[in-house]
Amino acid sequence: MRRLALTLALLLGAASLPEAAAQSASPPAPTTQAAPAATSLTLADALARLSSAPQVVQANLALSRAQRDLDAAQAGLSLNVTVGGNASYSSAAASAGSTGTGSGGTSGSGGSGGSGLNGSLNLKATAGVLPWASNRTALAAAQRSLNYAKAVRQENINTARSNVVQQYQSAYLSQLDLQVAAQNLQSAQQTLSAVQLQRSQQNATQESELQAQASLQTAQASQQAARTALDTARRSLSATLGTDLSAATFGSAPDLPSSLDAAGLTGLGLGDVNALVAQAIANSSDVVQAQNTLASAQDTLEQQQRDRSLPDLTLSANYGPGGGGLGAGLSLKDGTANVGYTQPLNANSAASSLSLSVSGSYTIYGPAANAQIASTQAQVSQAELSLTLARQTAELGVRQQYGDTLTALGAVTAKVTLQQRADVALQTAQARLAAGTGTQNDVTSAQAADAQAQRDTQAARTAAALSILKLQLAAGGPQ
């Protein structure tokens, strides 16, 4: 017996070898990539990532460039110091002439020629000293550009903030839509089952069964549409924030004031419409741009009028030997002054002297200049009108958004009342089921209606919260 058992064990082991070899030779089963873990993203977390939004980054770069331009313009107010010089070398043959003196005819040297190095070194400092100097007007223009860049940056941040809030709320509502779709699907399935049971008992028609089947198919399509909407909302928010949100869930409900009327807006600091209008006008990039256009046109007009009325006058003074010494000058039209020193390369034995000079010209008849002034005056008038329109547009936007916000808050109150009605209807259906006078299908239908009412309430709250944000942003954003 022992020998027989050993023989059977050997035979079984040999038979299992091909199977084991086949298993070891087979390729490993492919591994499936794990889906990203679900993460809960709050609205505050989403807004904290605004700094990486492309439009915010672009606005920051534009602001940085404008700041560097202003720094360069400010540096231009300082002295501009230059050093220069010139040199030349000349060689000439000596030439002589004789002159007679007395009877002896003594000859004398009438001239001589030679070679030598001529030239000078000079140091000069220039600065704008009058208000219309070019470096001062450039500084004013750079400051206006910086103010405009700041306004554009704030508006881009406000736009990005509005987009994030809107996309987040869209994802939040899509989640609620998915829940409502699940409730409706369950209700449609129960209705179809009940109709099929009734038809088997000859208590329902084929038309009723087909209608129930169509309702079920509609509920299935709505569920798929809700899934698609949620995926689209996730992708939109991911693109805005530059991060993967494919598995994110959105749980931040809209935050509204306790009082859904003008008093609630007052509690948020948004009750004074006139103050909001003033903020909007002060911070609107369109208004700032119109102000810059007007200021630029006014500067051009002042320059043209100054060129037409002021003489082209230049004052200069020099002290030193011929070709060297200290020098200073002032240009009336340019508004610049300069001071310098010149050192000749060769020795100069001439005595130092002071020289003053003035030169100038004045246009007594210039029709072209007069035409340019008239054209620029028209540009100034047009810029003033554009500024007025920009201010009116900013004011209209704030006042209209204020009215829309009050309307949105009133809509929330109506939706809350309808939700309370749906809650009562659900409680009634549950009570009838417990008393034996209702069916489970009635309860399921009431649950679906209650879920839809809750979703509609949240949609109204979302719209009101977004309207409040738009009102705040229309006034220039957080102050």
pLDDT of residue 98: 43
pLDDT per residue over 231-283, tens digit each? 999 999 998 888 889 889 998 888 888 888 888 888 888 989 999 999 999 99
**Res 110 pLDDT > 50:** no
Whether pTM exceeds 0.75: no
Mean pLDDT of the region 51-65: 86
pLDDT per residue over 344-391, tens digit each? 877 666 778 888 889 888 888 888 888 999 999 999 999 999 999 999
Residue 213: exposure state from Cβ atoms within 10 A (0-12, 13-18, ≥19): middle
**Beta strands, E only, 186-320:** 248-250, 312-320
Q: Specify if 350 maps to a domain.
A: yes
Co-location of 230 and 143 in the same domain: yes
Co-location of 376 and 268 in the same domain: yes
pLDDT of residue 22: 38
Domain CATH number, residue 150 = 1.20.1600.10
Tell me the C-alpha distance between 226 and 174, whole Å.
Answer: 6
Co-location of 197 and 290 in the same domain: no
429, 441 contact by CB (below 8 A): no
Co-location of 206 and 324 in the same domain: no
Co-location of 51 and 187 in the same domain: yes
Tell me the C-alpha distance between 309 and 303, whole Å.
Answer: 10
Average pLDDT, the chain: 83
pLDDT of residue 31: 45
Co-location of 266 and 377 in the same domain: yes
Q: Specify if 334 maps to a domain.
A: yes
89, 79 contact by CB (below 8 A): no
Co-location of 141 and 209 in the same domain: yes
From 252, 270, 301, the end of a domain falls on 252
Co-location of 66 and 178 in the same domain: yes
From 212, 234, 252, the end of a domain falls on 252
Mean pLDDT of the region 43-53: 87
Chain centre to alpha carbon of residue 289: 15
Q: Specify if 172 maps to a domain.
A: yes
Question: Tokens for 166?
Answer: 């809107």
285, 152 contact by CB (below 8 A): yes
Tell me the C-alpha distance between 3 and 15, whole Å.
Answer: 19
Mean pLDDT of the region 122-148: 88
**Res 207 pLDDT > 60:** yes
Q: Specify if 17 maps to a domain.
A: no
DSSP string, 437-476: SS-HHHHHHHHHHHHHHHHHHHHHHHHHHHHHHHHHHHTT
Co-location of 283 and 298 in the same domain: yes
pLDDT per residue over 315-337, tens digit each? 998 888 876 789 899 988 888 89
Tell me the C-alpha distance between 336 and 67, whole Å.
Answer: 26
Higher pLDDT, 424 or 346: 424
Tell me which residue range forms the domain holding 353: 312-361
Residue 66: exposure state from Cβ atoms within 10 A (0-12, 13-18, ≥19): buried
Co-location of 333 and 382 in the same domain: no
pLDDT per residue over 298-311, tens digit each? 999 998 888 888 88
Instruction: Count the domains in the chain.
Output: 3
pLDDT of residue 347: 64
Co-location of 397 and 412 in the same domain: yes
